[in-house]
Amino acid sequence: MKDQTHNAERAAFVRALKELQPVFGLRLDERVLSGFAAHYELLREWNRKMNLTSLIDPVQAARFHYLESLYAIRHFRPRIRSVIDVGSGAGFPGFPIAIYAPALRVVLVERQMRKVVFLRLAAQQLQMKNLSVFHGQFQDYRARDFDLILCRALDRFQEQLPELLQFGSMAKQILIFAGHEIAKQCRLMLPDRWRLTQHELPLSQRRVLLSLWSTGFTWNDPSSPTADRNPTGFT
């Protein structure tokens, strides 16, 4: 009975991914579907032991955790090679992006040790060679070895936004999942040298994706060895 329930949940999850992917402008191949399903199974198993997420229903998880996370990659600026996900939680949005784009180097930053344990176990079991996990807050991460910052669940956003911008001062782009109120606050608080565009999230009336970049950064450098437009292979 337990195996039947497990198989039914996995099948419902994969079916939801396939049915909803066109809404997000995505096309997922079997490798990605299999990787997402494997991560989802680990998420369900560990969620029974510790509170990783409240959204565990197959359809809701497919929509909010995996497809919405992957939607961010559609708005990557050119020549993104390395990504850091601050406040990754159960691995969103960084883990699905790492599964989808194995050429990207992805660092997940998480301060809660129980979630770090899960993330490292999932990375080991799924053999994620392009993904690593950092235990701590983003302010504790000293290297500036990333092109793009992802942020989906940053505590005390208004308080930490100036620190996040300083943290990303050498990055090419910052992508933030936010509600409309946070988006409004972000526009009011941004220094002049930062620019912002706002993208509606599919199937959501309350949340948006904010894309931030500094006007002091030159995007189209023809001398760059990574000047191709689409390093992730997204179509």
* 77 domain residue, yes or no: yes
**What is the chain's mean pLDDT, rounded?**
89
For residue 6, the model assigns a pLDDT of: 73
Are 131 and 106 in contact by the 8 Å Cβ rule? The answer is yes
pLDDT at position 233, please?
A: 42
Higher pLDDT, 183 or 121: 121
Q: Rounded mean pLDDT of 184-211?
A: 91
Instruction: Give the E-state strand segments of the chain in sequence order.
Output: 82-86, 105-110, 131-135, 148-151, 173-179, 194-200, 207-214
- Whether residue 81 is predicted with pLDDT greater than 70 in this model: the reply is yes
Residue 158's domain comprises 2-214
The verdict on residue 231 lying in a domain is no
- Residue 80 in any domain: the answer is yes
Note the pLDDT of residue 228: 44
The predicted pLDDT at position 34 comes to: 98
pLDDT value at residue 3: 65
- When pLDDT is cut at 50, 70 and 90, the band that residue 55 belongs to is confident
Q: Is the pLDDT of residue 130 over 70?
A: yes
Any idea what the CATH number is for the domain that residue 35 is in?
Answer: 3.40.50.150
Check pLDDT > 90 for residue 193. Answer: no
156: alpha, beta or left? (left if phi > 0; alpha if psi -120 to 50): left
| Residues above pLDDT 90, as percent of the chain | 70
pLDDT at 70 over 60: yes
Task: Answer whether residue 214 shows pLDDT above 90.
Answer: no
Read off the pLDDT of each residue in 100-127 and give the average, rounded to a whole number.
97
Q: Give yes or no for residue 107 having a pLDDT over 80.
A: yes
User: Of 3-7, 54-58, 192-196, 200-204, which one has max mean pLDDT?
Assistant: 200-204
Calculate the alpha carbon distances from 68 to 47, 94, 127 in Å: 20, 11, 23
Does residue 227 sit within a domain?
A: no
Nearest Cα to Cα of residue 65 among 28, 40, 99, 31: 40
Mark residue 223 as left, alpha or beta (left: phi above 0; alpha: psi -120 to 50; beta: remaining): alpha
Give the Cα separation of 87 and 178 in Å (integer): 13
* 203 confidence band (pLDDT: 50, 70, 90): very high
Cis ω before 93 (30° cut-off from 0):
yes
116: helix, strand or coil: helix
- ∠ CA 209-214-217, rounded to 5°: 125
Is position 50 within any domain? yes
More confident residue, 226 or 217: 217
Residue 224 lies in a domain: no
In which residue are the tokens 């560990």 written? Answer: 46
Distance between CA atoms of 139 and 136, rounded to whole angstroms? 8
164, 149 Cβ separation under 8 angstroms: yes
Is the pLDDT score of 60 beyond 70?
yes
What does the pLDDT read at residue 231?
A: 42
CB 135 within 8 A of CB 113: yes
Could you give the number of structural domains in the chain? 1
pLDDT band at 205 (very low <50, low <70, confident <90, very high): confident
* Mean pLDDT calculated for residue range 8-37: 97
Residue 228 forms part of a structural domain: no
